[in-house]
Structure 1
Amino acid sequence: MLAPKHQAFLAEMQRRGQPAPDGLTQCFQLLSLAAAIDQDCARRLAPQDLSEGRFVLLILLQGAEQALSPHQLAERAGVTRATVTGLLDGLQRDGLLERHADADDKRRINVCLTAAGEALAVSLFDQHTQWIRGLFADLSSAERRLLSGLLCRIWARTDAGRAP
């Protein structure tokens, strides 16, 4: 289940006579799994001409109680404003969202889904969550809790996990 680049790294360790790869194999398994899930996600979204970034914006807008600004979307999606602008341009071009000047401040832009965007977001959210649940369907609730705990422990040792 290891990606070729990870297999090559482990083979090079062995060639150099390095000690057992304590933790490296599991790290590479996790990275390979994450890449496979990302690839599957991209294949599932491609028929709707969506990237993961565009999908995330649809879900954020669908779940919002009111229209959101591009700045708010960028913060919530964890991307730059420039990235959000490009994603919004594509979604607007496809008729999935609209931009409107704010009623109180004409300099501010608010974004909301069209009826087509709303319908697509609802449908894809349900499909996506069912697919993800299916990935973990063979794990018992105790195994999922154990996996979650182990992943949290590893996360806490990363720079991101230690950041304030």
Structure 2
Amino acid sequence: MLEAKHGALLDEARRRGQANVALLHLCFQLLSLSSAIDRDCASRLAPHGLSEGRFIVLFLLHGAGGTLSPHALAERAGVTRATISGLLDGLQREGLLQRRSDAADGRRLQIVLTVQGKRLAEDLFNQHTQWIAGLFNGLDTAEQVQLSQLLAKVWQHTGGGRKDPQ
């Protein structure tokens, strides 16, 4: 279940007599799984002309009642304003959203889902969450809790985990 690049790194670690090969293997398993999930996600969204970034914008707008400012979208998606601008341009070209002047302050923009955008966001969100949940169907409740706890422990040793107040 390792990607070729991870297998090659693991082989080299073994060749060099690294003492922590088992831990490297765990990390590479996790990275390979993450890559496989990303690829599956991309292939599920591609027929709809969406990347993961575009999908996230749609579902954030849908969850906010269909309207948000570009700044709020960038913040919630965890991307720069330049990145959100590119995502919005593509979604607008596809007819999934519109840019409108804010009613209270005409200098500000609001991003609004079109009817087509709302329908796609709703359909894909339901399909996507069912697919994600299905990835863990082979785990019983206790295993799901254990996996979550184990991943949280590993997370604490990452840059993001050291910053996370939880």
TM range (shorter): over 0.9
CA offsets per residue over residues 11-66 of structure 1, 9 Å max, x none? Answer: 11111122241311111000000000000000000000000000000000001036
Q: Give the match for residue 108 of structure 1.
A: 108
Partner of 1:63: 63
Name the structure 1 match of 2:9: 9
Gaps of 5+ in 1: none
* CA distance in 2 between partners of 1:154 and 1:48 (Å): 35
Deviation at 1:156, TM superposition (A): 1.0
Distance 1:146 1:155 in 2: 14
TM-score, normalised by the number of residues in structure 1 = 0.97
Task: Provide the TM-score with structure 2 as the length reference.
Answer: 0.96
1:22 aligns with 2:22: yes
1:162 pairs with 2:141: no
Partner of 1:123: 123
Post-superposition Cα deviations, 1:66-120, rounded to whole Å, max 9, x if no partner, equal: 6211110000000111000000000000000011011121111000100000000
Q: Which residue of 2 aligns with 1:97?
A: 97
SS in 1 for 2:100: strand
Give 1:150 deviation, angstroms. Answer: 0.3
**What is the rounded CA distance, in whole Å, between the counterparts of 1:66 and 1:123 in structure 2?**
15
Equivalent residue, structure 2, for 1:50: 50
Identical-pair percentage = 60
- Residue aligned with 1:23, SS: helix
SS of the residue aligned with 1:99? strand
Identify the residue that residue 140 of structure 1 maps to in structure 2.
Answer: 140
Aligned residues: 164
**Structure 1 residue 133, shift from structure 2 partner:** 1.1
Any idea what SS the aligned residue of 2:17 has?
coil
The residue identity in structure 2 corresponding to 1:124 is L
